[in-house]
Amino acid sequence: MPRYELALILKAMQRPETAAALRRTVETLMERGAVVRDLENLGQRLLPYKMTKHNQRHSTGAYFLVDFYAAPSILDGLLDHLHRDVDVVRPAVLRKDERAPDSSCCGPPP
Amino acid sequence: MFRVISGRSVQAARLLAPRNAVLVEAVRGRKSRTDPVAKSKVGRIKVPPPVDPVEMLVLKERYSEYELIMRALRLEFKEEVLRKKYEEETGSQAEERARQEEEEHRALINWNDEENLRMLKARILRVQKEEEEAERKKMEAAIQREQQLEESIRLREKEILQLQEEAKNFITLENLDQRIEDALDNPKNYNFAVDKEGKVVKRTVLQ
């Protein structure tokens, strides 16, 4: 199964509510048949710009990173669910590639 | 009245005519057989050209001698040609030549057969060598394939083992709460700074 990364920006809330939101998200993932590998917290940070979601203006957010293995067919449904979740400011699912980068430094190839 | 003739009958008449004249013959032109004769031609009697008997005799003798000689020459030549042809086919040289030709033919055929044999042997050897080569290559290819298969199996097994190891740390429903608490307690920071000497600095402050 391919490996994905969910970069999640949650609303700035108290600790129990954040925990509840995270638990909800991970349980949704597991219901859809994903295997959650790891959960990382990137801290509560100032957002790069003010974002409006669910009729609320956010200037700070809590950044979380969820690695999981999943089938590609669930991603649409998952993103839809996350967009509708009130506590989620911005979800983003990215794919993790196993290959190492070919050139040692970034930039256009010679 | 007069018509120019040209054709097969001309060749004989040409001998008597002067060299540069055009040959003409009389032909019924404007008038038919039943028309009356013209006034200017009423008492005309056609007279053949006069012949000198002495000249005639001399000419006849000369011509007969000439034709005799010519005919003799022609017959001589014809006979020579026939004789040559006869000699060619059934003369004394014919047998020898035939024999020699046959010897040559046989020698050439023999040589050809030997060449064929030689080529056959060479070809057999070559084909055998090629077959052996092909066999060897096939074996090598098979061995290569097996090796690659084994290699890939080994790699995959290694991956599986690694994944099994990592699976011990995955999140399940039981450690979900614990993991969430751990994550909230330990915020991770991936930011870092690099200076011109290449020193990496990781103590950036989280806002």
Q: Quote the mean pLDDT of chain B.
A: 88
Give residue A109's pLDDT: 65
**pLDDT (mean) for B62-76:** 97
How sure is the predictor about B167, in pLDDT bands with cuts at 50, 70 and 90? confident
d(CA A20, CA B149): 48
Burial of A60 (0-12, 13-18, 19+ CB in 10 A): middle
Which residues of chain A does B180 touch, with a Cβ-Cβ cutoff of 8 Å?
Answer: 19, 22-23, 26, 39
Q: In this structure, is the dihedral angle defined by the CA atoms of residues B13, B18, B22 and B26, taken in order, positive or negative?
A: negative
Instruction: Nearest by CB to B186, from A30, A37, A41: name it.
Output: A41
d(CA B5, CA B3): 6
CA quadruple A61, A67, A72, A75: dihedral, nearest 10: -20
CB A92 within 8 A of CB A65: no
Q: Does B190 contact A15 at a Cβ distance shorter than 8 Å?
A: no
Beta-bridged to residue A57, according to DSSP, are A52
ipTM of this model? 0.79
Residue B203 pLDDT exceeds 80: no
Q: Which helix (H) or strand (E) holds A58?
A: strand A56-69
Residue B183 distance to chain A (closest CA, Å) = 5
Q: Does B170 contact A39 at a Cβ distance shorter than 8 Å?
A: no
Q: How many CA atoms lie within 13 A of B84 on its CB side?
A: 5
How sure is the predictor about B15, in pLDDT bands with cuts at 50, 70 and 90? low
Closest alpha carbon within chain A to B179: A39
Residue B170 pLDDT exceeds 80: yes
- H, E, C per residue of chain B: CEEECCCCCHHHHHCCCCCCCCCEEECCCCCCCCCCCCHHHCCCCCCCCCCCHHHHHHHHHHHHHHHHHHHHHHHHHHHHHHHHHHHHHHCHHHHHHHHHHHHHHHHHHHHHHHHHHHHHHHHHHHHHHHHHHHHHHHHHHHHHHHHHHHHHHHHHHHHHHHHHHHHCCCCCCCCHHHHHHHHHHCECCCCCEECCCCCEECCCCCC
Residue B63 pLDDT exceeds 90: yes
Q: Does A41 contact B187 at a Cβ distance shorter than 8 Å?
A: yes
Which residues of chain A does B179 touch, with a Cβ-Cβ cutoff of 8 Å?
Answer: 39
Residue B91 pLDDT exceeds 80: no
Beta-bridged to residue A11, according to DSSP, are A61
**pLDDT (mean) for B17-28:** 69
CA dist B15 → B21, B45, B63 (Å): 12, 27, 13
CB A39 within 8 A of CB B171: yes
Q: Does A42 contact B166 at a Cβ distance shorter than 8 Å?
A: no
Instruction: Nearest by CB to A39, from B166, B173, B180: name it.
Output: B180
Selected for mutation to probe chain B from A1, A39, A67 (highest B CB count within 10 Å) is A39
